[in-house]
Structure 1
């Protein structure tokens, strides 16, 4: 009796362990041996009508929850060259030292103001401070070009020039939208040209950075400058060159290597006068 009971107990334990093993295997493998098949929803698509499938996709798809990117505006490339047709005016013979006023005359003529350099001459600011020399012949005291034209513009005696600060008033008199672009980057002057506006710019006579600087005292303090100082009308540029109307050489659209020109323009203080569209 005891042996029979023991065999029955052992058999029951073996059956129970077999069932438990089957259940455990089904759980691990995703198969339910005694009920409905268990499926992984990420791998099986149920047969449903197309409308419900679409609705589920709209709700469950991460892409459907992310708004479509806004269309990007096309990138406009900046033009790399332009040359404007501006009138050429000679500073000689009347104004051998008048490159700045003559360049301003070209700018005004291009704008539409029909004035000659000689008509504008009486309206230009002047600093009439008389010149005084040191014993060694160097200039000790003279006018300041930031206040007005220094010296004699007609060549009857020593003349020097005028800077943007003093010439700006005359430009504003005829062009309400005049702008002083001094200390701006050269890219700004290129943008002006692309918009159709030339600029009066300060450089040197030979378009080289000067090595003969001079210093003298003036009514508003010492000034360092050079007698190679010059002004032209900037009318164009491309990747390698700039183009100017030079009132001294009398050349229209004179081509100068860009890096060389920018170096002289920077040496002379990045001075530039122009105007904007507002007044047109």
Structure 2
């Protein structure tokens, strides 16, 4: 027969066993050290699925954007007849837009011409001056011609309808296009940075500095990023970065002719 003392000992042992079984286990020392460290914890938010698109408020203004394009300015190619006649072709496009049905050959033939630079017996190069004449031959070997003689020629073909705006600001040049009028401009092929190709003396001992790759085009449009122009070399409208065009046009003397 079990004594009261043994029963009490069994009950005490059973109670201790139950307490140990129900007690929360203690984390090891290493786990406690990591948990209690000062390393920051960054919470990454879950993406919001099917979140509504953010719409601009009714008071928000649309971004400023400019786009101007002159209508009915047909492009003409200088090739194959005028391999060095970009100025004659750009001028022809301007005259055609103004209502004069002249051909590029007629304009090329009307431009005054001067000699290509050649070395004389003293070893100096002497030739025509593009400020006065077309240096060389637009049908063959040639350099080119600048705004003054081109304007005089165009004014003789279409009196009182043209304006030489050479030296104007770039902003004023763009305002001409915004007003719906094209402009013949001097720049370079592909808007490449011009470089000094050759120097010579004209028949009045004036120094001529010729920069390549000189090119004349018809400016017909622009927006915030590009200038659009009829390119005689391709016979199509081409787009050139507006900043590149500004840089090259100013380096080439800010030359331009437009219609009144």
Q: Does 1:160 find its partner at 2:143?
A: yes
How far apart, in 1, do the equivalents of 2:80 and 2:249 lie? 26
| 1:141 aligned residue | 126
> Could you tell me how far apart the structure 1 residues matched to 2:176 and 2:98 are?
13
Give the TM-score normalised by structure 1.
Answer: 0.65
Tell me the distance in 2 between the aligned counterparts of 1:79 and 1:188. Answer: 18
Greater C-alpha Rg: 1
Q: How many residues align?
A: 193
TM (norm. structure 2) is 0.70
SS in 1 for 2:87: helix
Moved over 3 A (4+): none
Instruction: Name the structure with the higher helix share.
Output: 1
Of residues 211, 217, 236 in structure 1, which corresponds to 2:221? Answer: 236
Partners of 1:79 and 1:175 lie apart in 2 by 37
Q: Are the counterparts in 1 of residues 220 and 228 from structure 2 also a CA contact under 8 Å?
A: yes
Larger RCO: 1 or 2 (CA < 8 Å, sep 6+) = 2
Q: State the SS of the aligned residue for 1:160.
A: strand
Q: Given the alignment of the two structures, is residue 106 of structure 1 paired with residue 93 of structure 2, yes or no? A: yes
Distance 2:142 2:213 in 1: 12
1:251 to 229, 236, 240: 236
CA distance in 1, matches of 2:142, 2:248: 21
C-alpha distance in structure 2 between counterparts of 1:139 and 1:152, whole Å: 21
Task: Give the 3 Å change call, closer, same or farther, for CA 194–139 of structure 1 in structure 2.
Answer: farther
1:177 partnered with 2:164: no
CA-CA distance at 1:133 after TM superposition = 2.4
Task: Give the superposition deviation at 1:119.
Answer: 2.0
Q: Is 1:97 the counterpart of 2:84 in the alignment?
A: yes
User: Is contact 1:131-1:139 (8 Å) kept?
Assistant: no
Contact between 1:103 and 1:233, CA under 8 Å: does it hold in 2? yes
**Cα distance, 1:212 vs. partner?**
4.1
Question: Structure 2: how far apart are the matches of 1:267 and 1:151?
Answer: 23
The whole-number CA distance in structure 2 between the counterparts of 1:103 and 1:175 is 18
Deviation for aligned residue 1:235: 0.2
Question: Contact 1:97 / 1:160 at 8 angstroms: preserved in 2?
Answer: yes
Deviations 1:47-81 (A, max 9, x none): xxxxxxxxxxxxxxxxxxxxxxxxxxxxxxx9822
1:260 to 233, 244, 250: 244
Aligned counterpart, 1:273? 257
**Does 2:105 correspond to 1:122?**
no
C-alpha distance in 2, partners of 1:203/1:251? 16
Higher strand share: 2
Does the C-alpha gap of structure 1 residues 212 and 222 become closer, same or farther in structure 2, counting only changes over 3 Å? closer
For structure 1, which segment, 171-180 or 89-98, has the greater mean C-alpha deviation from structure 2 after superposition?
171-180
Cα displacement (A) at 1:206: 2.4
Native 8 Å contact 2:67 2:223 kept in 1: yes
SS in 2 for 1:87: coil
Aligned to 2:68: 82
Q: Any stretches of 5+ residues in structure 2 without a counterpart?
A: 1-63
